[in-house]
Structure 1
């Protein structure tokens, strides 16, 4: 979900490399049966995941490895882990070679340009558990021209998490129910803890959080006008949302205003922040003894609640998440598919749910609202937004257009209006251009 500007050579060589193999009979066979037969001599598969899996649910990775090895004795599962900003540049480079991984994790908003270029093998959804109940937003992200090119991994809805001990020290005994209560509580916490403390630790480059304010105010990142996509961050509604976000950052965020959210849970574990607005797994991860630098205070003092929006309603969340895909150049499509199913089946989803994630399917999602431990996340997911489904949206993400805009606003480099105008202009150049 967090992306780095793609290397130019990666774009060119990826497209040329894929086109060169587009008429290969082996690729046609893959599309006909949902995956080619693995070579008899296959002794290993290579799986690329982001560091989220490495740090936060390594037991799920091991369970999937054990399951496929039990079916294929002697098989080796090789793992490579990447930070979000680095993954795609590496992927684009290897897709033009014969060294593509067999499984790769993708942010759900990253899938379209890769599917359009034939970078991923077509998969048979019937081979994957719960495929008939995949969450709509995730199902759309793995579907192109009516065919399936990936498997939803998990979803994430952002929620508010704060420390009840810090709130109590400021005289606060209950979680806020609306924006007015939230800002009043944060004012009390900020005054109590001092100017160097983050009443709300909110990295400026976290565009998923910032755009929730835009959508809460009735705005949008981009709109489709007569079949053409156009940036809409200059609209009065979007400006209102961005201004509210800027004001909150200015009052409550006293950390590095050039950071993204990739290490937010680690920073939160340092104990110098009261509130984060983040995917549900980040609070428990911060409380892990590896990251909790407060002497164990986080474990028993973290409280989740649905983030109230300035509009008076729950703030709409980006129902993001990850998908798993099999590069079309993989020589082990069937084995890769098996590993993916072992990783994303119902048992795997239970592990992900225990870490604060939403499952990839509606069947298991329904169980969350009845469980006090997960009801907040499930409720937050009921109001959501998704990225523009424009042909060139991938270029917007790769160029980090929104992140740049937000950093410029937060640091005072640009006014809200000027930064929004620049972002719209940059988006208008690429939104209607197929990646």
Structure 2
């Protein structure tokens, strides 16, 4: 799953003059004997400026390798990648959403990079990028960049209520502060009833998950005691605002709701703050960020890690050069530059300091240390397609029996995952 609302402002649009893709066979020969690496990057994953800087820097460092990039659209990318992997004319490097790799690896169309993890600093990779990049014990996806949700809050409303955001380190402190903020016309928090990624964080904090696997079969896990405790906390937090119980954060867009001026907090990627300010310029300078609190003060709340990995198709014409490209783009120097340029979380925990001067990205980086991914199975795509988790959440929030509704949703998750795996 790829966030469309990332940190660092509204979406940066690639220049229309970016290179079109040509096949590996067409690009093998270059003047001076250089080899061209064909790369697919996704729309808005980097700015045109960063792409230009990286390409020029890479080619200067590796004069025998040229880089040709085609920017891909997220709509329909799954089918396009599947077709490319099944062909004999695939690009050399593909950027893909971190939760999609199992689906592509299952087809046999990706190169196994397990023996390259040490030289790519795999020991420090963010868990939420590294784990979904692996399938059946083999590493296919190399973590590229990450983004996750934080709390965006109104600094003026917090100050007026006597709430110190820097002191909020635990769930109980969070709900106490939110209760204090929730008075008069102010909503302590705007939390729609179907923000299932936020629910996932609370479930992971309790030691649960959406689904578990045993002997090749998946079982939905929303009806476990751990997951039920996560839903119980979600319901308690959601009740401290006026968010709809039957919609997610996109309906209505929660940035639009916060821009109206009476919402003290939302859970969002930091880029949501820029959308709020675009809608209501009077809020400029009045928005802050802190990591989603955990159960205890010594550990931030669990978050879903969105972002991308880089893969090499098995049919790539230049796998060695592709690996060199990936090694540079995911290495220390360019990861730090990428994080600053795009307000991303770097792919490794040891590089978190690169975004220390960006409040939103810094809050993301703290949460990313406790990042998680959805169940690593090709069948998870089928769960997201019908999404029984949303229906379950609405049912509970509107008075349904949590255990019964969780059991029903767990059956739906198991059916979808086992059919698609």
Considering the TM-score relative to the shorter chain, is it more than 0.5? yes
Matched, 1:245 2:234: yes
- Deviation at residue 318 of structure 1 after TM alignment: 3.1
In the aligned structure 2, how far is the partner of 1:376 from the partner of 1:242? 24
Residues 362-398 of structure 1: CA deviation (Å, up to 9, x unaligned): 4324x46987956644543444544334574454345
Pairing partner for 2:287 from 286, 296, 302: 302
- 1:220–1:136 distance in 2 versus 1, CA, 3 Å: closer
Indicate the residue corresponding to 1:420 in structure 2. Answer: 406
- 1:187–1:63 distance in 2 versus 1, CA, 3 Å: same
Pairing partner for 2:301 from 315, 337, 353: 315
Contact 1:67–1:342 under 8 Å retained in 2: no
Between 96-105 and 57-66, the greater mean CA deviation after superposition = 96-105
Q: How does 1:252-401 map to 2 (within 5 A)?
A: 252-254=241-243, 257-260=246-249, 267=256, 270=259, 272=261, 273-278=263-268, 282-283=269-270, 285-288=271-274, 292-295=278-281, 297-298=283-284, 300-309=285-294, 314-331=300-317, 333-334=319-320, 336-354=322-340, 355-365=342-352, 367=353, 373=359, 376-389=363-376, 392-401=379-388
Residues 145-170 of structure 1: CA deviation (Å, up to 9, x unaligned): 55442221123454323121122234
Matched, 1:235 2:224: yes
Residues 161-217 of structure 1: CA deviation (Å, up to 9, x unaligned): 3121122234434443433432343234342444xxx54343544322111222334
In the aligned structure 1, how far is the partner of 2:267 from the partner of 2:281? 23
- 1:408–1:311 distance in 2 versus 1, CA, 3 Å: farther
Indicate the residue corresponding to 2:125 in structure 1. Answer: 134
In the aligned structure 1, how far is the partner of 2:208 from the partner of 2:49? 41
How large is the Cα RMSD of the aligned pairs?
4.3
In the aligned structure 2, how far is the partner of 1:226 from the partner of 1:121? 25
Matched, 1:200 2:189: yes
Q: How does 1:14-93 map to 2 (within 5 A)?
A: 39-40=28-29, 45-51=38-44, 53=45, 57-68=47-58, 71=63, 76-82=68-74, 86-92=76-82
TM-score, normalised with respect to structure 1: 0.71
- 1:201–1:352 distance in 2 versus 1, CA, 3 Å: farther
Matched, 1:116 2:106: yes
Contact 1:100–1:330 under 8 Å retained in 2: yes
Q: Secondary structure at the match of 1:219?
A: coil
In the aligned structure 1, how far is the partner of 2:316 from the partner of 2:78? 17
Contact 1:133–1:361 under 8 Å retained in 2: yes
- 1:68–1:314 distance in 2 versus 1, CA, 3 Å: closer
Q: Where in structure 1 are there 5+ consecutive unaligned residues?
A: 4-34
**Matched residue pairs, number?**
389
- 1:418–1:350 distance in 2 versus 1, CA, 3 Å: same
TM-score, normalised with respect to structure 2: 0.73
- 1:387–1:64 distance in 2 versus 1, CA, 3 Å: same
- Deviation at residue 253 of structure 1 after TM alignment: 4.6
Between 260-269 and 223-232, the greater mean CA deviation after superposition = 260-269
Contact 1:287–1:296 under 8 Å retained in 2: no
Pairing partner for 1:166 from 157, 168, 181: 157
- 1:49–1:314 distance in 2 versus 1, CA, 3 Å: same
Contact 1:391–1:433 under 8 Å retained in 2: no
Contact 1:105–1:322 under 8 Å retained in 2: yes
Matched, 1:125 2:116: yes
Contact 2:256–2:279 under 8 Å retained in 1: no
In the aligned structure 2, how far is the partner of 1:289 from the partner of 1:432? 39
Q: Where in structure 2 are there 5+ consecutive unaligned residues?
A: 4-23
